[in-house]
Amino acid sequence: MEVTLINHSSLLFKLKDSKYTFLTDFWNQTPAFGSWLPSALPFYNPTYLAGLSYKPNFFLVISHAHDDHIDDYFLKKYFNKDMKIIINKFPSPSLAKRVKQMGFDNVILIDKEKDFKDFQVMSVVDERMSNDDSSLVFRDKKYCIHHGNDNWFKLRKDNLKKIKIFSKNRILLYAAQTNSASGHPITYPNLKDRQKLLKDKVKNMLLTGFENTKNLNANYFLPYAGYSKAYVKGKNYQDEAFDPTYENLLNLINKGDKVTNKKKLVNIFPGGSLNLKNGKVTYPFNYDPNDIIKITDKYMHGEKVIEKCDTFNQDFNLELDKPEYVSDYLKEFNTFVNQYLERFPKFYPEVIGKKLRFTIVNKNNEKIMSSMEIGSGALCVNKTMVNKEFIIPSNLFRAVVEKKIVFENLYTGYEAEINRHPINEYNRGILIFLDMFGYKYKKSISNNYHEAWSAFWHLDRISILKSTF
């Protein structure tokens, strides 16, 4: 029984004496969040993975709708339209609709747990973090695989209990994210020691993974969902990224951390296969992970893959030509927040009274600024101290207004810089509401808020609910 790390959060494994094959969260090289590209490409040529989709007992697994977990372009163009696709039954049907719109009709929705006779699948959702992301757990009579993807956080007691019961008397692999998935701290110019903050952030995720591994009595902890880099024109974010190799992860741990199960961390890189029976990781040939990461970066530049990213895209060259769009966007955002809190008054109500500023900067360093108090919608004097300031390139904000990209690209995609006051106060709610509104805004037929409101309730609202800022 082997589990192969394809890349990022993509695993390839079999169950029930190799009768059934599963591929999780496939991502080739289509940019995610407008700037993310894999730091290690799929180990097997994607055409070979697409070829597997024509086998009758093949399953594609999609944990959630972020583009580094579902490559619409490649799936739609090359994968078998009749293949079986496993996703969680989310409150919003948008992921299922998205998959079906690509031409895939054989979608299997997992509502808590489903028995396929030879194997079983259980979905685990933590509503505190997101209603639109899932861990999916697979088992046969001998083995159990926890595909945690971006759900790195400490398992809730009830979910911990469910997984332990589900995996009882089986060899258990726990896999979860071990790298940062947001612009913080790299895109915060006023933060000091950003590299240290980044490593501390990853370390927290790693230590949480060890804790979950211990509490689950898991046999292995597989680190993944972190092999990506952000490509933003004029920046060197790809060089500032943390590479979550086994050596780099272990270097984050010191004696004071009291990790007692360090040996359960799997020493694996894309292309490696873990034998669940004996714990050995094998590769078809020897190579250095650091060399692969460097060559992949060179490939992204040399083959002009980065030109598909927002800030390199020639289609986004036009500057914002109507300054009033900045304040208009903020006003619509404010209406969204107020009406959302009317329905869900306990969902980050502390955003009311916070101050937000957009600073739009063109190529000549000319600025358009608009500041607003959330809740009242009152525009503030631009010298006012604000809780969050987004410094956004003029052409990219125009792309947001024209519904070519979502607002999340500016933050998770590293395309804007952010200042905050006080500097150590996250103001998580502001970011969450901005991302939620951004998806609603892009999907709306017009910029008229009232015309578009009803469409929002059918959207996935994943974005940054799980991130630490």
Domain containing residue 430: CATH number: 3.30.1050.10
Query: Does residue 439 lie within any of the structural domains?
Result: yes
- Same domain as 320, residue 296: no
Cis peptide before 38 (omega within 30 of 0): no
Residue 466 lies in a domain: no
Q: Do 158 and 234 have their domain in common? A: yes
Report yes or no on 192 lying in a domain: yes
For residues 13 and 136, state if they share a domain. Answer: yes
Identify whether residues 255 and 336 lie together within a single domain: no
- Let me know whether 404 and 450 are in one domain: yes
Domain match, 247 and 376 both: no
- 149 belongs to a structural domain: yes
Range of the domain at 322: 314-456
Do residues 155 and 11 share a domain? yes
Closest CA to 242 of 180, 190, 296: 180
Conformational region of residue 97, where left means phi above 0, alpha means psi within -120 to 50, and beta covers everything else: alpha
98: domain CATH number is: 3.60.15.10
pTM exceeds 0.85 for this model? yes
297/425 same-domain check: no
Looking at 284, 308, 332, the residue that finishes a domain is 308
* Residues 197 and 247 reside in one and the same domain: yes
Q: Which of 269, 284, 308 corresponds to the end of one domain?
A: 308
Judgement on whether residues 238 and 362 belong to the same structural domain of the protein: no
Write out the two tokens for 393.
């390139």
CA–CA dist 73, 80 (Å, integer): 13
Query: Do residues 26 and 71 lie in contact, with contact meaning Cβ atoms separated by under 8 Å?
Result: yes
3-state helix, strand, coil in the chain (%, to 5): 35, 20, 45
Whether 464 maps to a domain, the answer reads no
Total domains in the fold of the chain? 2
| pLDDT tens series, the chain, 469 aa | 899 999 999 999 999 988 999 999 999 999 999 999 999 999 999 999 999 999 999 999 999 889 999 999 999 999 999 999 999 888 778 889 999 999 999 999 999 899 999 999 999 877 666 656 678 999 999 999 999 999 898 999 999 999 999 999 999 999 999 999 889 999 999 999 999 999 999 999 999 999 999 999 999 999 999 999 999 999 999 999 999 999 999 999 998 888 889 999 999 999 999 999 999 999 998 999 999 999 999 999 999 999 999 999 999 999 999 999 999 999 999 999 999 999 989 889 999 999 999 999 999 999 999 999 999 999 988 888 999 999 999 999 999 999 999 999 999 999 999 999 998 888 889 998 998 899 889 887 644 444 443 344 334 444 334 443 4
